[in-house]
Amino acid sequence: MATHIKDHYQIGIICALHTEAAAVIAMLDERHPKLASQKDDPNDYSFGRIGVHNLVIACLPAGIMGNTPATTVANNMKRSFPIKFGLMVGIGGGVPSKKSDIRLGDIAVSQPTGSHGGVFQWDYGKTEQGGEFHHSGTLDKPPIALLNALQSLKIHDINKGIPLEDALTTMATNNPRMVDEFGYEYQGADEDQLFQSSYDHLAGETCEDCDVKEAIKRKARKNTIPRVFYGNIASGNQVMKHGITRDRIAKKEGVICFEMEAAGLMDNFPCLVIRGICDYADSHKNKIWQPYAAASAAAFARILLGFVEKQEVTDTPVQQQYTIVPFPRNTDFISRDDIFQSLDDLLPLTTTYQTAAIWGLGGCGKTQMALEYTCRWQQKTSGSVFWVRGDTEASFSQSYSEIAKEAGISLDLKGEDLLLAVQKWIEQLPNWLLVFDNVDDLRIFKMVYGHQSTDPSPNPELLRFVPRKNGIVLWTSRDNSILGRLVDHGRGVEVRGMSDQEALRLFQSRSGRPRSEQQPSDEESELLNLLENLPLAVSQSAAYIRSTRSTVKLYIEMLKESEIDQSELLDYEFSDVHRQSDMPNSVMKTWIISMKQIAQESQCAERILRTIAYLDNQGLPFEVLSAAGGGGFKKHEILQAVGRLIDYSFLQTQITVEAGPLVYQEHRLVQLATRQALTKANQNSKFSGNAIQIMKSLFPDGTHETWSSCRVYLPHALKSISWKKADGYEDLAPGLLGRIGRYYWEEGRSNEAEQLQLQVLDLQKSVLGEKHPDTILAMANLASTWSQQGRSREAEQLQLQVLDLQKSVLGEEHPNTILAMANLASTWLQQGRSSKAEKLQLQVMDLQKSMLGEEHPDTILAMANLASTWSQQGRSREAEQLKLQVLDLRKSILGEKHPNTITAMANLASTWWQQGRSTEAEQLKLQVLDLWKSILGEKHPNTITAMANLASTWWQQGRSTEAEQLKLQVLDLWKSVLGEEHPDTILAIANLASTWSQQGRSREAEQLKLQVLDLRKSILGEKHPNTITAMANLASTWWQQGRSTEAEQLELQVVDLRKSVLGEEHPDTILSMASLASTWWQQGRSSEAEQLQLQ
């Protein structure tokens, strides 16, 4: 036997099933020994000869069927052998009709019919309006050599017949085991039943239980020789097993057979499809006819090859593969499997015309993704790949000229004639992929924003020259609006930042650092986080570190030094053979191009981008973006502008819940690039000032009702005031800082409020001077915060200064002066100096009466404050009388449901509770609670406070179980409304602990009191009066548990702290001394206890 090499095999046969391949091999005149496979070719081949033709035979892997696997097997074969054309031989589902009396065991052969080349993909297309499915795309015809052979065979058939029976008999004689054990023989007319299209198969592997009345009666044939039918074969990625659908498609498209592999071959593997009929493509499928149908198809293939002239095979050229890509494959490419999977889903391995787009922020790796995809696609398909720059009309034309040169197209053609010639040449190729890279200005391809453009040049509309047959067009763009403009919606893949692991691998690869499968170092994690895993920024940093022999730590330090240092590092250009040499290779320059594009299209979008660069990059509400766009734009225009920023990936939508607020985020590095561009244009202060102005107008006053809005705007407000060189900073910042401080104060975040108020005070002093009313007001606000923090002595000193300044600047009877007196009185009351507080409050009340009248709200407030002082002094009768007056005045002036009236009711109830009149106090507190609920809702702080007060009354009444239940509700509400660390939440925990102490549950009470003490220490500090109270309460529990030594130690601390913080004469100090004396009595130290009690 002659020795054969790979070049001897120019005809390939592909089968889907082992049953089919066995039949083909049985038809060989001669088997050849196996040849060694290429290392990248996983196919398993059989070799042999029929007549004068050497054949290579491949079968799809076991259990795998469909167009895509068939394409893969064919492409592998083409890479390993110089295949001129081939045959697809196997089984299929026949479509009987009045025209074609197809029976099981017959043969269907693909032949160009109607608008199809012999095969079409029946499940590829789209559902159009009205629900009708429209098939799209056309597949190539079989090669001329095979069509000529087929024509000769058909002529021979008419004259002498096709010797199929001889071929089948020879196979059975030479391979009796195939017949005896595997059923490669005619199965009999009784096993060939065709049912009505509308009759579905019943359960079971055979049709024994199907209704014979539904079977179609057909005329018996004279012999069992298979008949051959020619026409269109419908190929799909799913099995056809529905009679009505089968007939509908067959009638419309002229189909004689359904199968699952041929569509994956026609354009890329020139071949003829031969199918033995094993069923009728309906629900009555079974496998008993498969071996014989495979044998029939193999027999026809053997006979057909006898009509193929060997010279015609020799003369048929091998399909040429073109690779016109300006870059080599990136061997260090970091695969992003999710994106490739999306591309594979959009672009299955079929030669039907398809398009898709890769889009995303500049620097996210679109070009590299496209480059790797072309390499993988060509490896799978052996098709041609082309690369065209789409950034400008000139680069587009240059790329087409390079293709024309490779294709041998006359260079005498110029302009549009050349572009059209290249388009047509690519379209005639059997299988191709064309990448249009950097298509960021869609206007040069199609009129999109031409009416807004300032560019007077005519639109070239290059889309006219994009090929539209037999291949794939893949676009890359920064502009998301390419979807719907140049490709269909839903045919895009967005590329974002890398995953942490992908970014780490890229950084280690490019920087020359040793690769590790372990977790990244702390420095690597920090760097990648700063760069937000953006591929171009990661590559830049790696290239810089590699070229300068720097360290990650040093690079991070430089990144953090200043914005100028950051921008210089991110503007670093590095060489990369996988990018165009004349395209920017830094994130800064890349984004500047997109910014210029936006500026040409939309002034509104440009203003938004420039302004939000000075705000936080997360959680940007639509209201902020609307204000940033400036006046004169309607809502729909703002939305369009925001949409363009999203299209360029400068913005992303964060929340898209139906009916929810529109919230956006911006890449942090995009903000940096924007600011640097504005700095170079001397517009930094303008737009940072614009940001502060917007936040000052949007940030609420900080009252509870506005807290949700405050939380949304807070990060942006804080960011805006960090730009101290902004236009109008000194005028705008104090007002905004004051609003933020008020919000912090209301939320119980006094430490943060203090920091802002100190900033405001410094600004006002430097800009307005120490005696300006606004400066004095800033001092007063700071004093109130110190008072809230328990720093009453510091608060008092500042309030005394405020009072002196108000008197000298505004006069003693000015409202602000009187307010300063009232605030000072409140501080003295907090210090336990009730006599001094009372005197000042009497002055305040007299001044208010004389200045404003007895019924003015401020006068009534002064009366209420004085009543509170009398309550603290134990003068409950006098306090009650004054509180009754306050309540009556507020009812008559403000109405019964006014918040101030309800507050007066609550204050009166507290006095009744103090007097031991718990029943009356309870009734009034219930009224207060109902009123707050109806006016403010169940979760308002005033409502929750009313619940807490009612719980205290029940506790006083000995109704500890009810009190406990209500206190638990109060605690849950405070946690949900204010958070676990708010002072009011902690107070609720303390109150619950007191209830448990009363119930004798001292262990549980102790745990809760320890929690309260820890929270107050961490939030308020060790010397805050509330912290000291928590220590005293814990000591009381220890005393209750008989742990007098531990209680004594804590009580000693409490006494010392209260003396230093509140003074020796403060009621709380005296109370703590009395508690210590009680402990000493318990310890039997009566002399010491007596001495302390005398003090």
Neighbours of 862 (CB within 10 A): 26
CA atoms lying within 13 Å on the CB side of residue 117: 23
| Average pLDDT of the chain to the nearest whole number | 85
pTM, entire model: 0.61
- How long is the chain? 1095
At residue 353, the pLDDT reads 87
Mean pLDDT along residues 796-801: 90
pLDDT tier, 137 (very low <50, low <70, confident <90, very high otherwise): low
Task: Name residues whose C-beta falls within 8 Å of residue 820's C-beta, 6 or more positions apart in sequence.
Answer: 780, 799, 802, 803, 806
DSSP single-letter state for residue 387? E
Mean pLDDT along residues 408-414: 85
Query: Has residue 456 got a pLDDT over 70?
Result: no
17: in domain: no
Residues 490 and 505 occupy one common structural domain: no
- Which of these ranges, 267-276, 556-565, 570-579, 972-981, has the smallest mean pLDDT? 570-579
pLDDT tier, 621 (very low <50, low <70, confident <90, very high otherwise): very high
CA atoms lying within 13 Å on the CB side of residue 586: 15
pLDDT tier, 514 (very low <50, low <70, confident <90, very high otherwise): low
Residues 302 and 279 occupy one common structural domain: yes
Total domains, the chain: 5
Residues 1039 and 1063 occupy one common structural domain: yes
Task: Name residues whose C-beta falls within 8 Å of residue 487's C-beta, 6 or more positions apart in sequence.
Answer: 355, 356, 357, 473, 475
Mean pLDDT along residues 948-953: 89
Residue 195, domain extent: 89-202+214-308
Of 25-34, 326-335, 412-421, 460-469, the range with the highest mean pLDDT is 25-34
C-alpha to C-alpha distance for 878 and 1021, rounded to whole angstroms: 37
Residues 504 and 480 occupy one common structural domain: no
pLDDT tier, 391 (very low <50, low <70, confident <90, very high otherwise): confident
Residue 763 · residue 732 · CB < 8 Å:
no
pLDDT over 90 for what percent of the chain?
27
Residues 508 and 488 occupy one common structural domain: no
1053-1067 pLDDT per residue, tens? 888 888 888 788 777
Query: Has residue 988 got a pLDDT over 50?
Result: yes
pLDDT tier, 699 (very low <50, low <70, confident <90, very high otherwise): very high
Calculate the dihedral angle through the C-alpha atoms of 532, 538, 544, 549, rounding to the nearest 10 degrees: 100
At residue 453, the pLDDT reads 46
C-alpha to C-alpha distance for 231 and 110, rounded to whole angstroms: 5
At residue 454, the pLDDT reads 46
**CATH code for position 359:** 3.40.50.300
Residues 357 and 446 occupy one common structural domain: yes
Query: Taken in order 516, 518, 523, 525, is the CA torsion positive or negative?
Result: positive
Nearest to 33 by CA among 64, 8, 13: 8
Helix (H, G, I), strand (E, B) or coil at 267: coil
The CA-atom distances, in angstroms, between 376 and each of 266, 433, 658, 768, 871 are 20, 11, 40, 69, 85
Mean pLDDT along residues 96-114: 91
β-pair type (432-437, 471-477): parallel
**CATH code for position 1069:** 1.25.40.10
Mean pLDDT along residues 679-688: 90
878-888 pLDDT per residue, tens? 989 999 999 99
At residue 534, the pLDDT reads 80
Residue 163 vs residue 260, higher pLDDT: 163
Query: Has residue 543 got a pLDDT over 50?
Result: yes
Mean pLDDT along residues 762-791: 83
835-875 pLDDT per residue, tens? 888 898 898 899 888 888 888 888 888 898 888 888 877 88
Neighbours of 899 (CB within 10 A): 14
C-alpha to C-alpha distance for 273 and 107, rounded to whole angstroms: 10
At residue 452, the pLDDT reads 46
Query: Has residue 424 got a pLDDT over 90?
Result: yes
Our measurement of the distance from residue 175's CA atom to the centroid of its chain's CA atoms, rounded to an integer in Å, reads: 62
pLDDT tier, 659 (very low <50, low <70, confident <90, very high otherwise): low
973: in domain: no
pLDDT over 70 for what percent of the chain?
93
Query: Has residue 113 got a pLDDT over 60?
Result: yes
Q: What are phi and psi of 121, to 5 degrees?
A: -90, 110
215-260 pLDDT per residue, tens? 888 899 999 999 999 999 998 888 888 888 888 888 888 899 999 8
Residues 274 and 331 occupy one common structural domain: no
Residues 413 and 442 occupy one common structural domain: yes
Encode 710-743: b = buried (16+ Cβ within 10 Å), e = exposed: bebbbebbbbbbebeebbebeebbbebbbbbbbb
The CA-atom distances, in angstroms, between 720 and each of 607, 615, 625, 627, 734 are 16, 6, 14, 14, 12
Biggest distance spanned by C-alpha atoms of the chain: 139
Residue 388 · residue 467 · CB < 8 Å:
no
Residue 509 · residue 538 · CB < 8 Å:
no
Residue 658 vs residue 92, higher pLDDT: 92
Nearest to 213 by CA among 228, 186, 188, 193: 193
Nearest to 20 by CA among 303, 288, 291, 285: 291
At residue 571, the pLDDT reads 65
Residues 295 and 239 occupy one common structural domain: yes
At residue 538, the pLDDT reads 79
pLDDT tier, 89 (very low <50, low <70, confident <90, very high otherwise): very high
425: in domain: yes
Of 52-61, 280-289, 969-978, the range with the highest mean pLDDT is 52-61
Residues 297 and 412 occupy one common structural domain: no
At residue 578, the pLDDT reads 43
At residue 1074, the pLDDT reads 83
Amino acid at 389: R
Mean pLDDT along residues 148-171: 93
C-alpha to C-alpha distance for 896 and 893, rounded to whole angstroms: 9
C-alpha to C-alpha distance for 571 and 669, rounded to whole angstroms: 12
- Which of these ranges, 530-544, 696-710, 859-873, has the smallest mean pLDDT? 530-544
626: in domain: yes
Residue 743 · residue 785 · CB < 8 Å:
no
Query: Has residue 707 got a pLDDT over 70?
Result: yes
**CATH code for position 254:** 3.40.50
At residue 351, the pLDDT reads 61
453 exposure class (CB count in 10 Å sphere: 0-12, 13-18, 19+)? middle
C-alpha to C-alpha distance for 963 and 995, rounded to whole angstroms: 7
Query: Has residue 458 got a pLDDT over 80?
Result: no
970: in domain: no
C-alpha to C-alpha distance for 311 and 498, rounded to whole angstroms: 55
Residue 460 vs residue 328, higher pLDDT: 328
Residues 153 and 114 occupy one common structural domain: yes
Query: Which of 570, 596, 611 is the endpoint of a domain?
Result: 570
566-600 pLDDT per residue, tens? 666 666 654 444 445 444 456 677 777 788 888 88
1012: in domain: yes
Mean pLDDT along residues 705-710: 84
The CA-atom distances, in angstroms, between 614 and each of 338, 343, 691, 731, 766 are 34, 37, 6, 18, 24
Query: Which of 538, 570, 602 is the endpoint of a domain?
Result: 570
Residue 617 · residue 666 · CB < 8 Å:
yes
C-alpha to C-alpha distance for 967 and 961, rounded to whole angstroms: 10
Residue 441 · residue 391 · CB < 8 Å:
yes
pLDDT tier, 397 (very low <50, low <70, confident <90, very high otherwise): very high
DSSP single-letter state for residue 224? -
Residues 160 and 238 occupy one common structural domain: yes
548: in domain: yes
Query: Which of 681, 711, 740 is the endpoint of a domain?
Result: 681
Query: Has residue 748 got a pLDDT over 80?
Result: no
776: in domain: no
Mean pLDDT along residues 758-766: 84
At residue 162, the pLDDT reads 93
Task: Name residues whose C-beta falls within 8 Å of residue 479's C-beta, 6 or more positions apart in sequence.
Answer: 359, 439, 440, 442, 647, 648
pLDDT tier, 1070 (very low <50, low <70, confident <90, very high otherwise): confident
Query: Which single residue is written with the structure tokens 């040169």?
Result: 405
Query: Has residue 206 got a pLDDT over 80?
Result: no
